[in-house]
Amino acid sequence: MSPVSSNAPHGLSPLRTVQVLGGGNAGSSAHVRSLADGLVARGVRVTVCAPAEADHAYDFTGAGAEHVPVPRSSDPASVAALRAACAQADLVHAHGLHASFRAVLALGGRTTPLVVTWHNRAHAEGARAHLLRLLERRVARTAAVVLGTTSDLVDRARRTGARDARLGAVALPGRRRPPGGDPDRPRPKTRAELGAIDRPLLMAVGSLDRHRGYDVLLDAARVWRDLDPMPLVVVAGEGPLRPELQRRIEDEDLPVRLLGTRDDVPELLAAADVALLASRWESRSVLAQEALHAGVPLVATAVGGVPDLVGDAAELVPYGDPRALADTVVRLLADPGRCALLRERGLRQAAGWPTEDETVAQVLSVYDELTQPRPLV
């Protein structure tokens, strides 16, 4: 990333920011790591308040930020730790609904500007859904600026009372592989390890949660059993639905493997013939972005921010329609020309997405709006 300004203006102290993370969302954690890189390069002091495991995974300190371990809980001890970390901040930037609500609690009574980024929409039913709406309203009305990663999230923030809601640029940061990883592992070897040497390989990525649409994916897999050769579906991710999904896979003899959490998703995706996104709602899906970057044809549900994100570079299907999902994949597997066209369109679409430099520049412009010159003490 090319630095724009590595020092504060003469006579001013460096801007001091606190980034608040819940730690449960890979996309927002990668975004904060990318912001930390860019902000520190521009002379901004960055403190990241996040669970210890988030720093282990994303190495915020390696970007030059200070890391303050704060659990995901909103209990008084966690809020007090966050309040102490924010005591000298010129501005606080929270990512995700729960982290934003903790920041609201921690800043209670202070005039420190609060920026929040909504990366996704919280999913819940019944009484919990009502609670989430209350949290959204409290956060939206307290924040100086709400940045939504998709236009529908911006609209949602405005409906819930945000004073200033804007579309926030979010780049797809490069994944950081663990030491000793082999990013150049050949595609045939990866396919062999997965058991897909002489059969199509379909891949989905994401936590095993209800809103990801894995029940629909398994319904579609019943159709793919009749193909010759039979495709193999692999799912990288972990979550509470694993026992239920595994039981269905075994009971119905479905050609699906649950891989659990993987740190080599880019390599797995590069080996796939088709990427699958069956979610009920997505904002800037990391899988969709990585698939287009990698030139892998994508079949995705036309929900949330997906249509705007992918344009004409993916096959879009309605959510909750396993027959549409299954038939679209069958057609793609039988049409190499269409796959080649989607690869070409995908690379062109990805080239128009925000860069990390552009993302940092937009965030810094928001910070500048909200903070006054800071004379040196």
Domain boundaries, the chain: 16-171+355-370, 187-351
| 267-294 residue pLDDT tens | 999 999 999 999 999 988 989 999 999 9
The position carrying tokens 């896979």 is 249
Q: What whole-number distance in Å separates Cα of residue 38 and Cα of residue 355?
A: 11
pLDDT band at 154 (very low <50, low <70, confident <90, very high): very high
pLDDT band at 24 (very low <50, low <70, confident <90, very high): low
| 105-147 residue pLDDT tens | 999 989 999 999 999 887 666 777 888 899 999 999 999 999 9
Across residues 305-332, what is the average pLDDT? 97
pTM of the model: 0.83
Q: What whole-number distance in Å separates Cα of residue 296 and Cα of residue 299?
A: 10
With beta carbons less than 8 A apart as the criterion, state whether 372 and 93 touch.
Answer: no
18: CB partners within 8 A, 6+ apart = 46, 47, 48, 49, 85, 86, 89, 91, 92, 93
- For the cut 90, the answer to whether the pLDDT of residue 7 exceeds it is no
Strand arrangement, sheet containing 114-118: 66-69, 45-50, 16-21, 91-95, 114-118, 145-148, 165-167
Q: Is 190 helix (H, G, I), strand (E, B) or coil?
A: helix
How high is the pLDDT of residue 355?
93
Residue 139: C-alpha distances to residues 18, 87, 158, 305 (Å) = 17, 19, 12, 22
- What is the rounded radius of gyration, in angstroms, for the C-alpha atoms of the chain? 22
For residue 79, what are its two tokens?
A: 């809020």
Go through the chain and tell me how many residues it has. 377
| 163-181 residue pLDDT tens | 999 999 899 876 433 333 3
How high is the pLDDT of residue 283?
87
DSSP assignment string, 107-155: TTT----EEEEE-S-----HHHHHHHHHHHHHHHHH-SEEEESSHHHHH
Q: What whole-number distance in Å separates Cα of residue 34 and Cα of residue 170?
A: 10
With beta carbons less than 8 A apart as the criterion, state whether 158 and 179 touch.
Answer: no
How high is the pLDDT of residue 3?
40
The answer to whether 16-171+355-370 and 187-351 have equal CATH topology is: yes
279: CB partners within 8 A, 6+ apart = 206, 211, 212, 213, 285, 301, 303, 304, 319
DSSP assignment string, 235-252: EEB--TTHHHHHHHHHHT
Residue 353: C-alpha distances to residues 168, 285, 357 (Å) = 12, 13, 12
User: Hey, what CATH topology would domain 16-171+355-370 get?
Assistant: Rossmann fold (3.40.50)
How high is the pLDDT of residue 129?
81
- For the cut 80, the answer to whether the pLDDT of residue 5 exceeds it is no
Domain covering 187-351 in this structure, CATH number: 3.40.50.2000
